Amino acid sequence: MYRPEIKVLDCTIRDGGLMNNWNFPKPMVRELYDCLVKAGVDYVELGYRADKRQFSPKDFGPWRFCDEEDLREVAYPSDTTKISVMVDVGRTDYDSILPRDQSIVSMFRVATYAKEIDKAIHLGRHIKDLGYEVTVNIMAASHVLEIELDEALDQLAATDFDVVYLVDSFGYFYTEQIEYLAKKYLSRLKGKQVGIHCHNNQQLAFANTIEAIIHGVNYVDGSIFGMGRAAGNCTTELLLGFLKNPKFNIRPVLYLIEKYFLDLKAQLHWGYEIPYMINGILNKHPRSGLAYMKERQNGSATRSFVDFYNELVEVAEID
């Protein structure tokens, strides 16, 4: 009834922080972490480890930087749940990463574009040598030429990294494309685990995650109530309900949704919205949809949905 190899990673604070500059209060993050441990989630990603020389701490909440002391205020070692943080290629201070035996973090996820795979491998090897689990997340896979993707996967196959993630950053893929890419990743990365991270622009994040699972992907990302940039992500609660593993308990996640995330969603407007849907079907970065949604929310929008669509496809007018 279930595949015990499947690991669930909750990225609510990390991906959701893109909607509020990572300004989650510490008591909330502490309760979120505790509830996700009780829910049986395998990894909780508590934010980014960004370079403070490039990003001013006064402009962001603590989860943009995930300093060790901040992490220890909200999380604790667990036999069942590990702590993850994400690092971006070109935006990471190597010296900020402590040796594994001095940190509460177990996994670092290296986010990269295919064209920067050499830099990602350099960063990943540095982190791996410090004793951590390492994943490489190839972002915006829908924008990568196949020959470039194949080369990146072949280079990653030669590393000792633990997981390589297929990332549908723009919520563009359908199940047929997920099947094709999942099989490609698995065939070119023999001996490694493959993960999936989906955005929900076309209401397909959950379906596409299931499709990846069917074809052998064992690391799956979710966020509570789908909280994430723009259209958001596959939801943690749906994953826990679907996977049928008796170690998972959906009740603590339902509690968190009711206590925190209903109000947050009303304020921040992630999830299915027409501008994000348009970004998805056109394979566009969500920044344009986010800007348009902000205009509509503050009453300054002068463009219709049709206008927005036309701008993205560079059509002057509709017949």
20 within 8 A of 268, measured Cβ to Cβ: yes
Question: Low-confidence residues of the chain, pLDDT below 50?
Answer: 316-319
Per-residue pLDDT of 169-198, as tens digits, reads: 999 999 999 999 999 999 999 999 999 999
What pLDDT, in 10s, does the model give residues 36-80? 999 999 999 999 999 999 999 999 999 999 999 999 999 999 999
CB 260 within 8 A of CB 12: no
pLDDT at 295: 95
pLDDT at 32: 99
pLDDT of residue 307: 94
- Three-class DSSP labels, 206-244: HHHHHHHHHCCCCEEEEEHHHCCCCCCECEHHHHHHHHC
pLDDT over 70 percentage in the chain = 98
Q: How far is CA 57 from CA 54, 62, 314, in A?
A: 10, 7, 38
CATH topology of domain 7-268: TIM Barrel (3.20.20)
pLDDT value of residue 131: 98
CA angle 7, 241, 104 (to 5 degrees): 35
Question: Residue 319: what pLDDT?
Answer: 42
Q: Domain-by-domain residue ranges, the chain?
A: 7-268, 274-313
